[in-house]
Structure 1
Amino acid sequence: MRLSDLCLACALSAAPLAADELTIVSWGGAYEAAQRQAIIAPFAENSGHDIEVDVYDGTWTALAERGPAEGWDVIDMLADQARVACARGLLLEIDSRALFSPEALQDFTPVGPDRCAVPQNAYARVMAFDDRAFPGVKPTRIEDFFDTTRFPGPRAIQRSPDGILEWALLAEGVPPEQVYGLLSTDRGLRLAFRKLDTIRDDIVWWDDPAEPAEMLRDGRAVMAAGFNGRFFDMAQNGRVPIDIVWDGRIIGIEVWAIAAAPDAPDAAREFITHATEAASMARFAARIPYGPTRRSAFDRIGLNPDTGVPMRAYLPNAPQHGGRALVQDSSWYANTEELRQRRFQTWLDAEE
């Protein structure tokens, strides 16, 4: 072999393998920005893979309609939407025992990986209020959301049955552990909608998750149902005195999933393993207040690198928060999607 040929062969053998192109789908906004900084950028740097990030509305229908055409690989999903997508064959089944050690699987909380998804963070649907609207006694419990006598003013609520039905039953005195069982009955649904009737005239509806915090800022509402990270961001960056009531919080789980495809890239599994390491979860929670889904990550979370805010105090699944809490039953959500929407639309139509 000529020396030139030998040098070329050595160079080729030493060259890195071609990097996989990976399309990750998330939610946009401050949430995606935190993901890019804490999870996606470190993975791209360490693996050499080319990463593209797309944005969607979080629904399994968007995955069905857009995923194949746009080449989606890894999708950030709500746990209930992932269950529906998995049942419809839209997601790849994941062998969690091949991705994680037995110790790592035991580390997940409050739920572990399932057939098509791996838990990545915990968020909460919470009640928040404009501190300026209540100079004296402040709201402290979910019953106050339905008390328009002591706490008058518009309530911002998502135009959806999600979350508000659970709150209605809590406000009626139903213990958290019985809420989803009761909502599985006609009696429970009637009780929830009857409670919702008591504030019908005080509701202002929202559709975009950014709206409830904006409504509090602009004075369009004095109380709002929304997501803890949005209220935190407005309070920190909007210089608005927004307070969160942790009582009645509904803790939901975000998961990572892989789009079903015969040629799903190995990089997709590599990314999920990286993204659900305790260190990755801790970096993410230090930037935006969505809690880790591994116990070992909590002690790693310190100050926000940009603001210096101690972030553990703002995590929805932080152990120091008092009051009642529900972990969203993703199986109930997946199995009652059509029923909930139908009953909710009937209730809305009765308003007109």
Structure 2
Amino acid sequence: MKKTLILTSALCGLAFGAHAQEVNVVSWGGAYEKSQVEAYNKPFSEQTGTKVNMIAADDPATPLKAQFEAKNVTGDVFDVAMADAIRMCDEGALVEIDPAALPAGADGVAAAEDFVPGSLSDCAVGNIVWGTVIGYDKTKFPDAAPTTVADFFDTAKFPGKRGLPKSPKRTLYLALIADGVAADEVYDMLGTPEGVDRAFKKLDTIKKDVVWWEAGAQPMQLLADGEVSMTTVYNGRLFDAIVAEGKPFDTIWDGQYLEINAFVIPKDAPHPEAAMEYVKVATGTQPLADQAKWISYGPARKSSAPQVGMYNDGKTEMGPFMPTNPDHLKTAVYDDPEFWADHSAELAEQFNSWLAAS
């Protein structure tokens, strides 16, 4: 079996040699790019002999859209938010990807069943799952630590200011969770006027104690400066503060808001065969697990979770920090791009009116 696999990989490499010796991958740069180079690109190049050119963008969806509209596509694979992937697929900019063409998980489960919910769409294959979670300063609560979204809203039992983003998408769901709505019923509730009113009513209970943030770096600064005792925050930034900086913070995973990044292939990509093979290799069980050695984002495959090991410091177990850890998924709210496509404008208007009201 091992010889067969080696021979198959070698033949794939020879096949690519006839078509392309490189593939252009457009991603987000920084530590995230580093994690992809180590976990995805190096194994891919070793297996196929194809060079990977990494191209950084503030948001890869922007050059993808520009290249497609200009009919001058130079990227082969783009790493984009799932909402952008769905939108551009609907616009006819992307190649459709059949889940049956993707490799099964390391445990033999078919790809269609192995990827976490929402990480496969007609034109996109998920790679990471990241969460908006609640971070808190442990020194502020020496007697009893908060553990739930309800605790975040309980300023009597857990005193202090709260950090929240100026965004209906990442606040309304949290209010409903705190008010007792089950994670899998949040969107049904938000799709009704009564549900929206219920969310705002719950937000009213802490409105005077909220410090609003707009950029991803702000909540950690608010927590570090002592301006808030708890805040919602992107899980990767909170991990860095806890592990890399040694801050006395901790995570509340209850009610985390999960979002997915995915690989897409534009129509008229210069190296379409190599692009498809890159997506297959990069989103296999082991590469997705290996990325977690470099950054605290969860792999989009269920079979990758048991393979997640140590952070690259050689001493930090990454499993407890993964948003896709099975324990953390129990009360997670998954992003619903289609819901927000239908309701974003109206909810943003209501949210801004609520903010402006005294």
For normalisation by structure 1, the TM-score amounts to 0.85
In 2, Cα distance between equivalents of 1:231 and 1:125: 10
> Match for 2:172 among 150, 156, 165?
165
The answer on whether the counterparts of 1:19 and 1:50 sit within 8 Å (CA) in structure 2 is no
Bigger drift between 181-190 and 112-121 goes to 112-121
Bigger drift between 93-102 and 279-288 goes to 93-102
1:279 is matched with: 286
Bigger drift between 136-145 and 289-298 goes to 289-298
> Match for 2:99 among 93, 96, 99?
96
Bigger drift between 230-239 and 142-151 goes to 142-151
Structure 1 55/112 Cα, relative in aligned 2: closer, same or farther at 3 Å? closer
**When the two structures are aligned, how many residues end up with a matched partner?**
336
The answer on whether the counterparts of 1:127 and 1:223 sit within 8 Å (CA) in structure 2 is yes
Within-5 A mapping of 1:1-352: 19-46=20-47, 47-57=49-59, 60=61, 63-65=64-66, 71-100=74-103, 103-111=110-118, 113-261=120-268, 263=270, 265-321=272-328, 324-350=331-357
Structure 1 22/212 Cα, relative in aligned 2: closer, same or farther at 3 Å? farther
Q: Percent identity?
A: 36
Structure 1 138/37 Cα, relative in aligned 2: closer, same or farther at 3 Å? same
Bigger drift between 66-75 and 42-51 goes to 66-75
Give the CA RMSD over aligned residues: 2.7
2:3 is matched with: none
Which residues of structure 1 form unaligned runs of 5+?
Answer: 1-12
Bigger drift between 260-269 and 118-127 goes to 260-269
Q: Which amino acid is 1:129 matched to?
A: Y
How far is 1:66 from its partner?
6.5
In 2, Cα distance between equivalents of 1:234 and 1:117: 31
In 2, Cα distance between equivalents of 1:335 and 1:321: 28
Structure 1 341/21 Cα, relative in aligned 2: closer, same or farther at 3 Å? farther
Higher Rg: 1
How far is 1:157 from its partner?
1.7
Residue deviations 1:284-321, cap 9 Å, x none? 12322222222322222222232321111211121234
Q: Which amino acid is 2:54 matched to?
A: E
How far is 1:142 from its partner?
0.2
The answer on whether the counterparts of 1:142 and 1:171 sit within 8 Å (CA) in structure 2 is yes
Q: Secondary structure at the match of 2:133?
A: strand
Q: Secondary structure at the match of 1:336?
A: helix
In 1, Cα distance between equivalents of 2:197 and 2:331: 22
Which residues of structure 2 form unaligned runs of 5+?
Answer: 1-13
Structure 1 37/321 Cα, relative in aligned 2: closer, same or farther at 3 Å? same
Q: Secondary structure at the match of 1:250?
A: strand
Bigger drift between 93-102 and 115-124 goes to 93-102
For normalisation by structure 2, the TM-score amounts to 0.84
The answer on whether the counterparts of 1:25 and 1:56 sit within 8 Å (CA) in structure 2 is no
Q: Which amino acid is 1:32 matched to?
A: E
How far is 1:258 from its partner?
1.8
In 2, Cα distance between equivalents of 1:51 and 1:61: 18
The answer on whether the counterparts of 2:177 and 2:186 sit within 8 Å (CA) in structure 1 is yes
How far is 1:323 from its partner?
6.4
The answer on whether the counterparts of 2:256 and 2:332 sit within 8 Å (CA) in structure 1 is yes
